[in-house]
Amino acid sequence: MKNPLDRFYKMFSNDIGIDLGTANTLVYLRGHGIVINEPSVVAVNQKTGQVVAVGAQAKDMIGRTPGHIKAVRPLVDGVISDFEVTEEMITYLINKAQKISKKMLGPRVVVGVPSGITNVETRAVRDATRNAGARQVHIVEEPMAAAIGIHLPVHEPVGTMIIDIGGGTSDIAIISLGGVVRSKNLRIAGDRLNSDIIAYIRSEFKILIGEKTAEQIKISIGSVLPNHTPKEAVVKGRDLITGLPREVVITETDIREAIGQSIATLLDAAKEVLETTPPEVVSDVMQRGVYLTGGGALIVGLDTILHDHLGLPVHIAEDPLTAVARGTGVILEDIEKYNDILLVNEDDTPPQI
Ligand code: ADP
Ligand code: MG
């Protein structure tokens, strides 16, 4: 039955979708689209415990602020590592979205979380969202949201495979009939590739580079397949012996070597998920193929090697970094349709104390 207050809520409250990523947080505001896309970083004053900045502004503060201001990533491995900071971050996002929509009442919020999240963690996300002012909280697994975001028919009895490679975690999931049939969440994703590159350059070239530099090299010259004309990059770092700045030329082959092991683990994990999936579902997946989402979908050549490794068609989702956020938006358009797939689907019940 429709809630008689629906019209009232529609006028004074808004609907918000949040993709709480380990690297990037996106907010979808119904009727507006994606209105916030910021790094998942919060700057905290350690003396007072107060949050001084969130998102890009906080990221810019890293390394440039007095010692007592520390930048934290509240969702290190895809789960809430610091509850209070996460709550502050969600509050900030909700307030910002409210300002854009100019509506006063607490919003309905759909939040994406990594697959395989524990009940305790799910409740933590729910409570943080509630405390941040949400009137209703709905929680969806990110691979499911991504599938919805790229308009896959999740309710139909046909299996599809989603591989979402984010910053802290990768989600590998087989979806059919509105549910996650099999899934695996692993901590090998973009951040790991960055640290692989740091470790490799340290051991091969004896220089130390920072995380930001490693990420830039990964994005500019990284590829898991050899190119005809290998790309190169000049990298500045600190010489491990002299302690002075030094430049070296890194090639794409170096990067491939550096990240090889992690990529192999990722490929094997995908294979393992397929191997434990019921045969009827696998035959669907063979036909429909695999969809890559998240920033890691943009790793050059990944689609090709995945295809070779799994023997399935592999598609890179359009605009893979926004798939989850767009999915929360699609859900908000018709929450009832997606009732069955939501992990938490809570009405206006007051928070439990
Ligand atoms: P999360 O959902 O965990 O916040 P995202 O889906 O936003 O993660 O992806 C962020 C990750 O994607 C980062 O590790 C980033 O380095 C990586 N990434 C973004 N663009 C590219 C690219 N072109 N090539 C390789 N990796 C990329
Ligand atoms: Mg993500």
Single-letter code of the amino acid located at 297: A
Helix axes 302-310, 252-275, angle to 10 degrees: 40
CB-ligand 1 contact for 116 (6 Å cutoff): no
Per-residue confidence (pLDDT) for residue 353, from 0 to 100: 41
Residue 69 has pLDDT above 50, yes or no: yes
Q: What is the DSSP letter of 20?
A: E
Q: Which amino acid, one-letter code, is at 205?
A: F
pLDDT at 348 over 70: no
Mean of per-residue pLDDT scores for the chain:
90
Percent of residues, the chain, with pLDDT higher than 70: 95
Summarised one tens digit per residue, pLDDT across range 34-55 is: 999 999 999 988 888 888 888 9
- Ligand located closest to 40 CA: 1
Chain segment 134-162, per-residue pLDDT in tens: 999 999 999 999 999 999 999 988 899 99
Helices (H), the chain: 6-12, 56-61, 83-101, 119-131, 142-149, 190-205, 211-221, 252-275, 279-288, 302-310, 323-333
Which token pair is 170?
Answer: 């990768």
Q: pLDDT at position 59, please? A: 84
Segment 312-340 shows an average pLDDT of 95
Residue of minimum CA distance from atom 5 in ligand 1: 166
Whether the pLDDT of residue 106 is over 90: the answer is no
Distances (CA, A) of 300 to 71, 201, 212, 322: 30, 20, 19, 18
Give distance in angstroms: CA of 316 to centre of ligand 1: 14
Q: Coil, strand, or helix at residue 268?
A: helix
Average pLDDT over residues 346-350: 56
Cβ of 138 less than 6 Å from ligand 1? no
Residue 251 has what pLDDT? 96
Q: How far is CA 306 from CA 89, 189, 198, in A?
A: 35, 15, 25
What are the residues whose beta carbon lies below 5 Å from ligand 2 (ion)? 21, 166, 294
- Please state, in angstroms and rounded to a whole number, the distance separating the CA atoms of residues 290 and 65: 44
Q: Which residue has the higher pLDDT, 139 or 353?
A: 139
What local confidence, expressed as pLDDT, does residue 66 receive? 75
> Ligand 1 in contact with 17 (CB < 6 A)?
no
- Best residue among 191, 192, 215, 231 to mutate for probing ligand 1's pocket (most ligand atoms within 8 Å of CB) is 215
Mutation choice for ligand 1 from 321, 322, 324, 326, CB with most ligand atoms inside 8 A: 321
Confidence of residue 79 (pLDDT cuts 50, 70, 90): low
State whether the beta carbon of 23 lies less than 6 angstroms from ligand 1.
yes
Does position 320 have pLDDT exceeding 90, yes or no?
yes
Distance 296 CA to ligand 1 centre (A): 5
Distances (CA, A) of 187 to 47, 91, 133, 282, 342: 32, 27, 31, 25, 24
CB neighbour burial string for 312-333, b if at least 16 within 10 angstroms, e if fewer: bebbebeebbbbbbbbbbbbbe
pLDDT > 80? residue 226: yes
Q: Give percent above pLDDT 90 in the chain.
A: 62
Residue 290 has pLDDT above 70, yes or no: yes
Across 335-343, average pLDDT: 89
CA 41 vs. chain centroid, Å, equals 13
What pLDDT is attached to residue 77? Answer: 60
Distance 166 CA to ligand 1 centre (A): 5
Does the Cβ of 114 fall within 6 Å of ligand 1? no
Query: What φ, ψ does residue 94 adopt, rounded to 5°?
Result: -65, -45
What's the 190 CA to ligand 1 centre distance in angstroms?
Answer: 6
Q: Is 296 in the pocket of ligand 1 (CB under 6 A)?
A: yes
CA 215 to ligand 1: nearest atom: 16
| Separation of CA 66 and ligand 2 centre (Å) | 31
Q: Which two tokens stand for residue 315?
A: 């598609």
Q: What are phi and psi of 4, to 5 degrees?
A: -60, -20
Token pair for 308: 């070779």
Ligand found nearest the CA of 39? 1
Q: What are phi and psi of 117, to 5 degrees?
A: -70, 145
Q: Is the pLDDT of residue 352 over 50?
A: no
Q: Which atom of ligand 1 is nearest to the CA of 23?
A: 4
The whole-angstrom separation of Cα 19 and Cα 114 is 10
Interval 67-87 mean pLDDT: 77
Q: Is the pLDDT of residue 351 over 50?
A: no
Please tell me the predicted confidence (pLDDT) of residue 266.
98
Range 181-210 average pLDDT: 96
How does DSSP classify residue 123? H
Q: How far apart are CA 33 and CA 17, in angstroms?
A: 10
Distance 116 CA to ligand 2 centre (A): 14
What H or E segment, with its residue span, contains residue 352?
none
Cα–ligand 1 centroid distance for 87 (angstroms): 23
Angstrom distance (rounded) from CA 286 to CA 312: 5
Instruction: Quote helix, strand, coil % in the chain, to nearest 5.
Output: 40, 25, 30
Which residue has a Cα nearest atom 8 of ligand 1?
166
Is residue 122 predicted with pLDDT exceeding 80? yes
Residue 339 CB neighbours (<10 A): 12
Per-residue pLDDT at 332: 95
Question: What would the mean pLDDT of 209-238 be, rounded to a whole number?
Answer: 93
Nearest CA among 5, 6, 30 for reference residue 16: 30
More confident site: 343 or 285: 285
Distance from the alpha carbon of residue 294 to the mean position of ligand 2, in angstroms: 5
Angle at 219 between CA 82 and CA 72, to 5 degrees: 15
Ligand 1 centroid vs 146 CA: distance in angstroms? 15
**Ligand 1 pocket, residue 22 CB under 6 Å:** yes
